[in-house]
Amino acid sequence: MFRNSFRLFLSILLVLALSSALIMPAAAQDDGKWCTGQTIRFFVGGAEGDAFGSIVLRGAQAAEADLGATVEYVFSGWDVERMIQQLREAIAAEPDGIATMGHPGNEAIMPLAEEAAAAGITMMYQNVDVPDVRARFGGGYIGAQLVSQGRALGEEVVRQYGLGAGDTALVFVPLGQPGRDLREGSTADALEAAGVTVVRLDSPPEYASDPNLALPALTAAALNAENLRLIVYPGGQLLGAVPVYMDALGFAPGDIVNIGFDTSPAIMEAFQSGYVQLTSDQQPFLQGYLPILSLCGTLTYGFGALNVDTGAGFVDTTNYASVAEQAIAGYR
């Protein structure tokens, strides 16, 4: 079903592209690069080679190739302070548009969004929404709806595995990142509503850059938990490292239910080996492609900003094979 949905989406994009070609200036129709001449600074989020960020980057590069914009890529290692500094630098460079991650949150981004608006720079946001910023200074959001996505994952694992009173779950939550913490926090809330005892573990940004850093905290929490049934991970980087974590803890495949967010080659391997049971797919390729498409539409034709929920539902032990090919190729 995921492959068919993705093909349908690409077909829709093709129809839109062909329709817009009918109104493009003659010079733009020659090669189809209707966003040529526009400069965009794009925030990938992670470091180069990051499991999630590399898929976002692939999507952004595809949009650059399709549309003809000049795109400058920014790598932040998921460090929110670094993102803010890089956003200041991006605004100072005065590109036509900026697509940035919303991880720093409304309060940190607000004054910079105001500065960008004053400079006439068009903004887009991806992966983490900043609704207060967008309400004041415009811009669209491309990414999953974090609260509903997180809550749905918690409810789904309860449904599939019959979790309830007497069971314990460890949930990694980015506790120091207001806004970004909504997703995993909502998963924890859904588990608690079902009677599960939840232990929240902090997930600082450096875990995403090096998942091995999470092992000491995870080991300590797992050893102290009574009747541990479930571990929830905050992103594809950690979820892909589950076989390493389980081996260190001495757990065999299936001893613990391991769930989280995203798809990647490592996560597909973990499904195949029986270590991962459920993940919520947020299609990071689209979080790369669509912000650039939206900026190009606004800058070239004055279109309104796109707002797209990229959440695609669940991948579990029954259907992971249907998305494995795309994940291994770097598109899911």
Task: Please check whether residue 18 lies inside any domain of the structure.
Answer: no
Task: Please check whether residue 67 lies inside any domain of the structure.
Answer: yes
Task: Please check whether residue 327 lies inside any domain of the structure.
Answer: no
- pLDDT for 133-190, tens place per residue? 999 999 999 999 999 999 999 999 999 999 999 999 999 999 878 788 999 999 999 9
Pick the last residue of a domain from 281, 298, 321: 281
The CATH number linked to 65 is 3.40.50.2300
**pLDDT for 25:** 45
Same domain for 79 and 164? no
Task: Please check whether residue 95 lies inside any domain of the structure.
Answer: yes
Task: Please check whether residue 266 lies inside any domain of the structure.
Answer: yes
Same domain for 174 and 226? yes
The answer to pTM > 0.75 is yes
**pLDDT for 3:** 45
Task: State the DSSP H helix or E strand holding residue 126, giving kind and residue range, or none if neither.
Answer: strand 122-126
Task: Please check whether residue 5 lies inside any domain of the structure.
Answer: no
Distance CA 266, CA 272 (A): 10
DSSP state letters, 79-97: -HHHHHHHHHHHHHH--SE
Task: Please check whether residue 103 lies inside any domain of the structure.
Answer: yes
Residues of the chain with pLDDT > 70, as a percent, come to 91
Same domain for 195 and 159? yes
Mean pLDDT of 182-200: 97
- Residue 175, exposed/middle/buried by CB under 10 A (0-12, 13-18, 19+)? middle
Tell me how crowded residue 120 is: count the other CB atoms within 10 A of its CB: 8
**pLDDT for 12:** 53
Which residues span the domain enclosing 252?
A: 146-281
- pLDDT for 230-258, tens place per residue? 999 998 899 999 999 999 999 999 999 99
Task: State the DSSP H helix or E strand holding residue 317, giving kind and residue range, or none if neither.
Answer: none
Same domain for 259 and 177? yes
As for how many domains the chain has, the answer is: 2
Same domain for 175 and 242? yes
Task: Please check whether residue 60 lies inside any domain of the structure.
Answer: yes
Same domain for 269 and 151? yes
Same domain for 200 and 108? no
If you search the block for the tokens 């129709």, which residue do you land on? 29
- pLDDT for 9-62, tens place per residue? 544 554 444 444 434 443 444 578 999 999 999 999 999 988 899 999 999 999
Let me know: does 327 contact 239? Beta carbons within 8 Å: no
Same domain for 55 and 90? yes
Same domain for 125 and 152? no
**pLDDT for 2:** 44
Tell me how crowded residue 37 is: count the other CB atoms within 10 A of its CB: 13
Same domain for 124 and 182? no
DSSP state letters, 156-218: HHHHHH---TT-EEEEEE-TTSTTTTHHHHHHHHHHHHTT-EEEEEE--HHHHH-GGGGHHHH
**pLDDT for 312:** 81
Distance CA 232, CA 239 (A): 8
**pLDDT for 256:** 97
pLDDT category at 7 given cuts 50, 70, 90 is: very low
**pLDDT for 249:** 96
**pLDDT for 144:** 95
Same domain for 120 and 162? no
Same domain for 184 and 170? yes
Distance CA 291, CA 143 (A): 10
